[in-house]
Amino acid sequence: MKIAVLSGKGGTGKTFVSVNLSFAAGNSNYVDCDVEEPNGRLFFKPELISREKVCVKIPKINNDLCRRCRICVDFCKFNALAYIKDKVLVFEEICHSCGGCMLLCPEKAISEKDKEIGEIQEGLFKDSNIYTGILNTGEETGVSIIKKLLKTIKDKPYTFIDCPPGSSCSVMESIKDADYCILVAEPTLFGVHNFDMVYNLVRVFDKPFGAVLNKCLEGENPAEEYCNDKNIKILCKIPFDHELGRLNSNAEIAAEKNEKYKSLFTSLLNTIKEEVE
């Protein structure tokens, strides 16, 4: 069963929820798709067993064949190509590797070459596999790293996908094959605004989903009001707790160190199991 954890806003608790669920489940895959700043590994401190470079294809122009028609330059939606003094210039960081310029070139003057943009790592934590995607600084998009990560994972009863923040291509790639989506929410208006975006996203993808309300305080909770308003199932509430803050800041797994949180995440896992079945 593949469970994706997403939130829209960063810092809401995606990694906290997915790391602890993976720990509570045991014998699972934890997949860190937040490739711009993967941090689940800080909690698991996995024993590294393999790493693999990830490359994307970028255009290579053969100026001897180029007839200066500019079809490639006009086509590129990302403006990664420019035509200067009878030559096509490629801006490698801007290119999204769609391959369109190569397909359209009537002179077949464009071929592809590999460009390394990051790597994926596989590690072990007890009987679980910890997968981490790492995008090199300055690169435009980590989608190809996420694709490769999710293709690499071994067969386990549970796979927890720690998604990037936001609701763009990289998040869509992360949740594409998920059986269930957990939307993590925090009680702030900013949080609710971005929560609304991922709520709409999982509906477009027609995924079953439920909400985890994190950092709950006494008094009003805009995230809870939003869920009630939209009839979103609240799977559990996690309190705003100094003990959790301490454990997290020391890169410790709450469910491993604290019985209360072990039972909270075990029961959250059971709730999700029932939801999926």
Partner 1 sequence: MKIAIPVDDKNIKGNVCLSFGRAPYFMLHDTENKENSYIINSAANSQGGAGIKAAQIILDNKADVLITPRCGENAAHVLKAAQIKIYKSDNNSIEDNLKKFKENKLKPLDQIHHGFHGHGGK
Q: Which residues contact partner 1 (rule: CB under 8 A)?
A: 73, 76-80, 82-85, 89, 91, 94, 140
HSE-up (13 A, CA, CB side) for residue 46: 25
Cβ at position 151, least distance to partner 1 in Å? 27
User: Considering beta carbons, is residue 104 or 169 the nearer one to partner 1?
Assistant: 169
Cβ at position 91, least distance to partner 1 in Å? 6
What sign results for the dihedral spanned by CA atoms 249, 254, 258, 264?
positive
User: Considering beta carbons, is residue 83 or 205 the nearer one to partner 1?
Assistant: 83
User: Considering beta carbons, is residue 63 or 79 the nearer one to partner 1?
Assistant: 79
Cβ at position 75, least distance to partner 1 in Å? 12
User: Considering beta carbons, is residue 82 or 104 the nearer one to partner 1?
Assistant: 82
Cβ at position 94, least distance to partner 1 in Å? 5
46/268 Cα distance (integer angstroms) = 24
- CA torsion angle for 91, 92, 93, 98 (degrees, to 10)? 100
User: Considering beta carbons, is residue 82 or 153 the nearer one to partner 1?
Assistant: 82
User: Considering beta carbons, is residue 140 or 179 the nearer one to partner 1?
Assistant: 140
User: Considering beta carbons, is residue 139 or 186 the nearer one to partner 1?
Assistant: 139
Cβ at position 111, least distance to partner 1 in Å? 22
User: Considering beta carbons, is residue 82 or 172 the nearer one to partner 1?
Assistant: 82
Cβ at position 87, least distance to partner 1 in Å? 8
- CA torsion angle for 12, 14, 20, 23 (degrees, to 10)? -170
Whole-Å CA distances, 22 to 3, 44, 127, 207: 10, 10, 11, 20
Cβ at position 190, least distance to partner 1 in Å? 16
Cβ at position 78, least distance to partner 1 in Å? 5
Backbone angles phi, psi at 51, to 5 degrees: -140, 145
